[in-house]
A = this chain, B = another copy of it.
Amino acid sequence: MQDRDRCLALDADDPLRDFRDEFALPEGVIYLVGNSLGALPRRTPERVNQAVTDEWGVQLVGGWNSAGWYDQPLRVGDRIAPLIGAGPGQVVAGNTTSIAVHQAVSAALRLRPDRRVIVSDVNNFPTDHYMIEGLAAGYEIRDFAEGRFDDAAVVLLSEVDYRTAERHDVAEVTARVQAAGALMVWDVCHSVGALRVDVSAADFAVGCTYKYLNGGPGAPAFLYVNPRHHATAVNTLSGWHGHADPFAFESGYRPAEGIRRFAISTPHVLSFAALEAALDIWDRVPLDRLRAKSVALGELFVELVGDALELASPADPERRGSHVSFRHPDGYPVMRALIDRGVQGDFRAPDILRFGLAPLYTRYTDVYDAATTLLEVLEKELWRDDRYARRLAVT
């Protein structure tokens, strides 16, 4: 068993140690929900205020050019690209993950007009499924676990499962799907900013920026499109910002060249400003060290909890993302009792306790203190308290 002094030493030796100072974290709370909503970078308030008071307040409509609002989706996309193994001109930011799923799957179906099967994972985050249902008139939706892709138009899968943190092998699955003639769409919401993502062989990828990337609540999502599809893929959400000449105000739609054709319409400029401040940090993060620390934090948590809870995540850290999940039949009150004691994780129905480990600001001592508190809650059955009855929880 590791002890707390050993964790203090690990924090002191941590090569990512200084990144924690770049975040505003509330006192007295161990925040292990960075896999749901990342913490606030200290420089974000100033950047957002500048966008509001100077860019909007002073430059006014001129900001579309002078403050670069018009180019935000592509400029920010280019900054996200290195985090997912993509190159410049391959990622467009904006809107939401759900809308990006719609764009990717809709485009994929048109690229495989002779196939009538969509493959998805029943364990995918539900909105991925739901968006497919909105597109699936005339299509069969098949579970990924069946492993059959030879008549599939498209396969949609999360790299890291939002509940268990189980990680798929992106390269292996992509190759298998494409060998069967289907197109591969990855959802990297739970992996981007947590490990070295590489979707470069895939056909499409989608993700959000409000989790490990710390872009803020409701920060813009992103869509990767493999360059081999840029000339042929159709954006069925064919808004004016994806037009070849949006300011000519032509009456007919002509898609732009390259990734721009997947832009839709006016970017959410203020939400983009917060994301840009977060990316100022990500430009400097060494991804291999990030992953190494994520694995070490996870291993520490699993070791400390031991047999006190059933591990819902894979035991092999290579098959796990950057959160650790446990099962408990009374998981909801257990989590409420834990939160009451200053350790914030979250609960996912029916029985999953999740703990997000964000290597930029989660310390070894945080994991130690969180696990110790969790063990105390379990051992003393502190969760058997009427105050911890079920209520609404939000990802």
Q: Could you tell me if A61 and B36 are in contact, using CB atoms closer than 8 angstroms?
A: yes
B61 touches A37 (CB 8 A): yes
Whether a CB of chain B sits under 8 angstroms from the CB of A338 is no
In this assembly, does A349 line the interface, its C-beta being within 8 Å of a C-beta of chain B? yes
A127 within 8 A of B: yes
Given the known inter-chain contacts A45-B52, A239-B98, please indicate yes or no for A253 contacting B220, CB distance below 8 A. no
Contact of A265 among B61, B96, B240, B246 (CB under 8 A): B96
**Contact B31–A265 (Cβ < 8 Å):** no
Q: Give bound CA distance, A273 to B133, whole Å.
A: 31
Q: Mark A262-295, 1 if CB is under 8 A from B, else 0.
A: 0011111111111000000000000000000000
A63 surroundings in chain B (CB, below 8 A): 37, 217
A363 part of interface (Cβ distance < 8 Å): no
Interface status of A49 (Cβ within 8 A of chain B): yes
Check A240/B95 contact, CB under 8 A, given A45-B53, A56-B40, A217-B69: no
Q: Shortest CB–CB separation between residue A362 and chain B, in angstroms?
A: 13
Distance in Å from the Cβ of A327 to the closest Cβ of chain B? Answer: 15
Note all chain B residues with C-beta closer than 8 A to A314.
none
> What string of 1s and 0s marks CB contacts (under 8 Å) between A79-109 and chain B?
0000000000000000111110010000000
* In the complex, A1 has a CB within 8 A of chain B: no
Q: Is the CB of B134 within 8 A of A238?
A: yes
A306 interfacial contact with B, CB 8 Å: no
Does A122 have its Cβ within 8 Å of any Cβ on chain B? Answer: yes
Q: Is A181 an interface residue (CB 8 A)?
A: no
CA distance A60 to B238 in the complex (A): 35
- Given A98-B264, A269-B216, A270-B48, CB of A349 within 8 Å of CB of B40: no
Query: What sequence of 0s and 1s flags, for each residue 44-55 of chain A, a beta carbon within 8 Å of any chain B beta carbon?
Result: 110011001101
Contact of A60 among B26, B64, B134, B237 (CB under 8 A): B26
| Structural contact, A216 and B270, CB atoms closer than 8 A | yes
Q: Out of B96, B129, B234, B270, which one reaches A274, CB within 8 Å?
A: B270
Residues of B within 8 A of A40 (CB): 52-53, 56-57, 60
Contact yes or no, B52 A39, CB < 8 A: no
Interchain CA distance A40-B65 in the complex, whole Å: 18
A389 at the interface (CB under 8 A from B): no
Q: Chain B residues with Cβ under 8 A from A29's Cβ?
A: 60
Evaluate whether A99 and B98 lie within 8 angstroms (CB atoms) in the complex, with A39-B60, A64-B394, A65-B392 already known: no
Q: How large is the interface on A (under 10, 10 to 19, 20 to 34, 35 or more residues)?
A: 35 or more
Bound-complex Cα distance A125 to B251 (A): 9
B residues in contact with A48, CB < 8 Å? 48-49, 52, 270
* Whole-angstrom CA separation of A363 from B308 in the bound complex: 71
Contact B270 A126 (CB under 8 A): no
Structural contact, A99 and B61, CB atoms closer than 8 A: no
Is the pair A237, B98 in contact by a Cβ cutoff of 8 Å? yes
Tell me whether B265 and A268 are in contact (CB under 8 A).
no
- Using CB atoms, name the residue of chain B closest to A264: B98
Given A253-B129, A264-B96, the answer on whether A217 and B269 have CB atoms closer than 8 Å is yes
Bound Cα distance from A242 to B127, whole angstroms: 10
CB pairs A–B below 8 angstroms (14 shown)? A37-B64, A40-B52, A56-B217, A61-B346, A63-B217, A69-B217, A95-B95, A98-B237, A98-B264, A130-B243, A218-B266, A218-B270, A220-B268, A268-B268
Contacts A65-B392, A70-B392, A129-B253 known; 9 new A-B pairs at CB < 8 A: A39-B60, A61-B394, A96-B266, A127-B239, A127-B240, A130-B240, A133-B253, A134-B237, A135-B236
